[in-house]
Amino acid sequence: MIIIETMDEIVSLAKRRGFIYPGSEIYGGLAGFWDYGPLGVELKNNIKREWWRKMVYEREDVVGLDAAIIMNPEVWKASGHLEAFTDPLVECKACHKRFRSDKPETIKEHEKEHGKKPEWTTPKTFNLLTEVYLGTTEPKQKTYLRGEITQGVFMNFSNVVDSTRVKIPFGIAQIGKAFRNEITPGNFTYRSREFEQMELEYFVKPDAKESEKIFKYWKEERLKWYVRLGMDKEKLRFREHAADERAHYARFAEDIEYQAPFGWSEFEGIHHRGEWDLGRHKLTYKSDEGKEYTPWVIETSGGVDRAALFFLLDAYQKGKDRVYLKLHPKLAPYKVAVFPLLANKEELVKKARTVYEDLKKKFVVVWDDRGNIGKRYFAQDEIGTPWCVTVDFDSLEDGAVTVRDRDTTKQERISIDKLATYIDNKLNAEN
Ligand code: GAP
CA distance 343 to 427: 28
Residue of 47, 192, 197, 310 to test ligand 1 pocket, by largest number of atoms within 8 Å of CB: 197
Task: Output 244 or 302, whichever has higher pLDDT.
Answer: 302
Residue of 174, 195, 245 to test ligand 1 pocket, by largest number of atoms within 8 Å of CB: 195
User: Quick check: CB of 182 below 6 Å from ligand 1?
Assistant: yes
Average pLDDT for 112-123: 86
Cα of 212 from ligand 1 centre, angstroms: 22
User: Quick check: CB of 181 below 6 Å from ligand 1?
Assistant: no
Say which residues have a Cβ less than 8 Å from residue 111's Cβ, sequence separation at least 6. 117, 118
Cα of 41 from ligand 1 centre, angstroms: 19
How would residue 109 be classed by pLDDT, with cut points 50, 70 and 90? Answer: confident
User: Quick check: CB of 267 below 6 Å from ligand 1?
Assistant: yes
Q: Mapped to the 3 state alphabet, what secondary structure does 242-281 carry? A: CHHHCCCCCCEEEEEEEEECCEEEEEEEEEEEECHHHHHC
Torsion of CA 263, 227, 378, 18, to 10 degrees: -70
CA distance 185 to 182: 6
Average pLDDT for 9-18: 97
Cα of 185 from ligand 1 centre, angstroms: 13
Q: How far is CA 191 from CA 180, 186, 195, 367, 419, in A?
A: 9, 5, 9, 35, 42
pLDDT of the residue at 399: 97
Q: Whose CA is closest to atom 6 on ligand 1?
A: 269
Whether 365 has a pLDDT exceeding 70, the answer reads yes
Cα of 208 from ligand 1 centre, angstroms: 26
What digits encode the pLDDT tens for the residues 25-59? 999 999 999 999 999 999 999 999 999 999 999 99
Whether 318 has a pLDDT exceeding 90, the answer reads yes
What digits encode the pLDDT tens for the residues 296-305? 999 999 999 9
How would residue 78 be classed by pLDDT, with cut points 50, 70 and 90? Answer: very high
Residue of 34, 301, 310 to test ligand 1 pocket, by largest number of atoms within 8 Å of CB: 301
User: Quick check: CB of 197 below 6 Å from ligand 1?
Assistant: yes
How would residue 431 be classed by pLDDT, with cut points 50, 70 and 90? Answer: low
Q: Which amino acid is at 334?
A: Y
Whether 334 has a pLDDT exceeding 70, the answer reads yes
Cα of 193 from ligand 1 centre, angstroms: 10
Q: Which amino acid is at 317?
A: Q
- Render the burial of 72-89: b for 16+ CB within 10 Å, e for the rest: ebebbebbebbeebebeb
Helix, coil or strand: residue 385: coil
Judge whether 336 and 365 are in contact, CB under 8 Å.
yes
Whether 2 has a pLDDT exceeding 90, the answer reads no
User: Quick check: CB of 300 below 6 Å from ligand 1?
Assistant: no
pLDDT of the residue at 3: 54
